[in-house]
Structure 1
Amino acid sequence: MKYPEPLKKGSRVAITAFSSGIAERHEKRFQEVVRTLKQRGYDVVVGDCLKSRKKHVSAPKEQRADELLRFLTDDNIDAVAPPWGGELAMELLPLLDFKRISRAKPKWIFGFSDVSTIAASINSVVGWATVHCSNLMDLVDTNVEPLIANTLNHLETPVGGTFVQTGSENHTRKWPEIETEPLAYVVGETKTQWKWLVRPMSVDAVSGRLIGGCWDTLFHLFETPFLALSELNSKYEEGLLLYLENAEMSPCDLVRTIHNMQFRGVFNNVNGLILGRNLRADSQIEDDLTYLDVLTEHLANKNIPVMYDVDIGHVPPNLTLINGSVAEIRLVNGQGSITQWLK
């Protein structure tokens, strides 16, 4: 695994939108994010593909790909982060020169949602450790929720180091009103409880090298040149630990997606499956299929441990999950924790 150098004072962070950019109404929040980064001693470079939101994206795909490639191959840059996700990061993948990227100094790529489309692919194809975590626009210094407030601290972990996170106390489906309150932060109001759908045979933990992200986008990439889990699994003696979270797929979409994964052999190439909280609300019609129905009927029979309602994705807060790290996720009596080793 090729780990980027830990962030530190003097590290240069480049900001460019892989997918959705920021509108004028987000500018004050963006400036607070930049201030927070500079207060930590980071140098900030702002790209051209950022301050626009036209037809779902910040700029044409060729321009976004060119800027991303320029940042990824610039050895003076230590991290590349978009403001948040979006819808169409996938269209950049065929335009990226992965051979050039592989010759460059590894850089942190971090965020969640559509950010994970690029992050997981870079990890798979190039072998850089990348990060699924709170988005850049979430990272202001007023945060009090530990999982969010410690995001950048974890990216300062040295290679060979270890860090531990425990499950959040509370989570929320309400995002802060950053357009009117630039320093607003996530406040949870619902008790968090990670849950086993399928327990491991002999212990209350599952382990392996992490890979994953947004279920909505990544299932399109499984066993393609951009995310070949079978190849990754063959490389790592620890095996793979796949984490996913659903943003927009309906229960029927999820059924089709799980069958798609079965057809491609995904479940034969992972030690376990870790699922974040489901963002899409279930139908209120009594006989309609629900999210938990889908998990119970279609994932409980894959002969792998499955955990769900973990702090991953669109129902914050978010764990910091480093793709490529060796991880152990433990859940005992409703108390969840994850240890990651950068080795």
Structure 2
Amino acid sequence: MAAVDLPAEISSLRSTYRAVREVSDVDALKATVAKLTEQASASDLWDDVDNAQAVTSKLSHAQSELERLEKMGARIDDLETLVEMADEAANEGDAATAAETREEAERELVSLRKALSELEVRTLLSGEYDQREALVTIRAEAGGVDAADFAEMLLRMYLRWAERHGHKAEVMDTSYAEEAGIKSATMAVHAPYAYGTLSVEQGTHRLVRISPFDNQGRRQTSFAGVEVLPVTEETDHIEIPENDLRVDVFRSSGPGGQSVNTTDSAVRLTHIPTGIVVSCQNEKSQLQNKAAALRVLQARLLVKAREERQAELDALKGDDSGSWGNQMRSYVLNPYQMVKDLRTEHEVGNPASVFDGEIDDFLESGIRWRRQRERASEN
């Protein structure tokens, strides 16, 4: 195997890092941290709890982003120092130390490439709502009980992904299927750029396996749909007149219909003009569930308005490319093991790791693929 040209690799890393810093606008990020730090130190900050939580959360994430960028530069410097140490050991005739140090440098190079690639992908998230937190809804589609079970597997996959990254995630509403799995579930991911990152997951997911629910052990194909929405903010100005809403209350329930709440605290909202229906049952009170359901409804109306604007633009420029969101990934457990993205062609041979939340490579390839499509469309 040819030796790795470490100086050339370091030069390439520095070039990519400079581009990432430029796009990330480090000076603007530092100004944001300073501004939020000043707001967070105000004596009356906690007079408005919601605003205080928003300010401290934004400050924490901005500081974390700035720290990631600064640490990346330091790590590249440290890698260069390691290479110099290996060269010095070799020049002094200490072959063992030189080899050991070089191996350490090559391991760090692999780690740095991955970390820098993640930073680079973040710079591609420049859409209107990409910086927002995300609402992810998973629905069982064709395939009966296998589809319901598959939908629950996807819900766990996204929860595990959020956990791996230290993102706070909460399930806001779950509708359980009769035999196994779920009919649908909505979860919120509270992290910057969660929408931009997870929006590439939107579409139809397909599972092929020997059905655990078929007593004849036949292979079954089932489908689940994933919808990803940006969380609305105060600046969105989405007003919903009370006359446009129908509010129904009911008791929360768990698997098998077992009551998990003895009061009518669950809330279902129907937006009469559009027919959009959302529900929430995971909060403790009816008011909390109504507020949570209203946030989901506002998010859906926000995306609907954006899609209508985009449709008008597409009609004007004759865009007939269609939606990229459908039929986006296949999970095959039999007769072989593979998970493949049908848009990017990225695939792995370990479905178990994917279902355990290891989907970063799929997210990265999806974001790069989408950006290429956007650039092609612009041209």
**TM-score using structure 1 length:** 0.25
Q: Which has the higher helix share?
A: 2
**TM-score using structure 2 length:** 0.23
> Larger radius of gyration, structure 1 or 2?
2
- Higher RCO, 1 or 2 (CA under 8 Å, sep at least 6)? 1
